[in-house]
Amino acid sequence: MIKDGSPDARRQAPATERNRDPILSALREVLPLSGRVLEVAGGTGEHAVHFAAALPDLVWQPSDSDAEARASIAAWRVDAGLSNLLEPIALDAAAGWPDMAVEAVVCINMIHISPWAATEGLMAGAAKVLGSGHPLVLYGPYRRGGRALEPGNAAFDEDLKRRDDQWGLRSVEDVRACALDHGLAFDQLVEMPANNLMLVFRKR
Write the Ramachandran bin of 98: left for phi over 0, alpha for psi from -120 to 50, otherwise beta.
Answer: beta
Contact 102, 133 (CB under 8 A): no
Cα–Cα dist 99/162, whole Å: 36
**Is the pLDDT confidence value at 4 over 60?**
no
Query: Helix/strand/coil (H, E, C) string of the chain?
Result: CCCCCCHHHCCCCHHHHHHHHHHHHHHHHHCCCCEEEEEECCCCCHHHHHHHHHCCCEEEEEEECCHHHHHHHHHHHHHHCCCCECCCEECCCCCCCCCCCECEEEEECCHHHCCHHHHHHHHHHHHHHECCCCEEEEEECCECCCCCCCHHHHHHHHHHHHHCCCCCCCEHHHHHHHHHHCCEEEEEEEEEHHHEEEEEEEEC
pLDDT-derived band at 7, boundaries 50, 70, 90:
low
Query: CA separation (Å) from 118 to 17, 40, 59, 133, 200?
Result: 26, 11, 24, 23, 17
Supply the pTM of this predicted model: 0.94
Amino acid occupying residue 124? A
Q: Tens digit of pLDDT for each residue in 117-133?
A: 999 999 999 999 999 99
**CATH architecture assignment, domain 7-203:** 3-Layer(aba) Sandwich (3.40)
Band the pLDDT of 17: cuts 50, 70, 90: confident
- Domain borders along the chain are 7-203
The pLDDT, as a whole number, for residue 16 is 81
- pLDDT given at position 146: 82
**Cβ(22)–Cβ(15) below 8 Å:** no
Average pLDDT over residues 75-92: 97
Cα–Cα dist 83/117, whole Å:
34
Report d(CA 149, CA 41) in Å as an integer. Answer: 25
